[in-house]
Structure 1
Amino acid sequence: ARATGTAVVSYADLTAAAEDGVTVAYGGDGKVKVTGTVEILGRSISRSVLSTVTRVDGHTIKVRADEVPGEGIPGVEQLVRTRTDFERDIDGLPKGLGLRKIQVTESGLEIGLNGSDVSLTG
């Protein structure tokens, strides 16, 4: 009738779910550190940002940079955000089970799950 549980998504798995060239790591104090590279005026610029992870709905996680250093170049913040900000669905959950909460830990994202009328078979 009801199910609850906790899953941990590692930073390696988060990096694999991000765009090519983007890495996700523990940032300390409940944040993740996202590093990405963008091309600006023929130069590659790599930036790391501290990001907040939130639950969008019962199946989606959102990673958004708290602040992006723009260095006074117009459009840099938006360009960097195209690499460092992302949303990902958590696929494959049993029917009736959804994301309840997300907590950033040193080992990865700790995701609390719960649901009712959860189908674990078939």
Structure 2
Amino acid sequence: MTRGLRACALAAALAAPVAAAVLPQRSGPGATPTRTTFAQTYRGRRIGAVWTPPLGPDEEGRWHVTVDGRPLHLMRRADGTWLSMVDHYCSYRSPLEAARAAVDQLGPGQRLRDPAAGQEGAEHVHMGDRRGVRT
């Protein structure tokens, strides 16, 4: 009986830290992420990102994420998770996880499209039917 009580006590003690580590972080307007940059090589691809803080009180900050030097467009969902233009069927807890998933979706020899090849003067370019991937 005491063994069962100890197991329950241990589970209760670990529940909060585990939930905090696993659940997505929700941040309100104006909240700054704890990390403002990251750079790493993942599966032979160079992933980099920089957080740009908001310019005014009515704006939100943005992540500028690149894969092999080409921009990866990320979108923040209402629940605080992220999705990318390469894989917008799944949500990820962080911009880094979304970038890694985009790398996983890129096949050998494929890379993100160069936005300069899109429409001139367009702020948001729709990347077409190949999910923003160039072969």
Q: Could you say which TM-score interval applies, normalised by the shorter chain?
A: under 0.3
**Structure of higher CA gyration radius:** 2
Bigger relative CO (Cα 8 Å, ≥ 6 apart):
1
Larger relative helix fraction: 2
TM-score, reference length from structure 2: 0.22
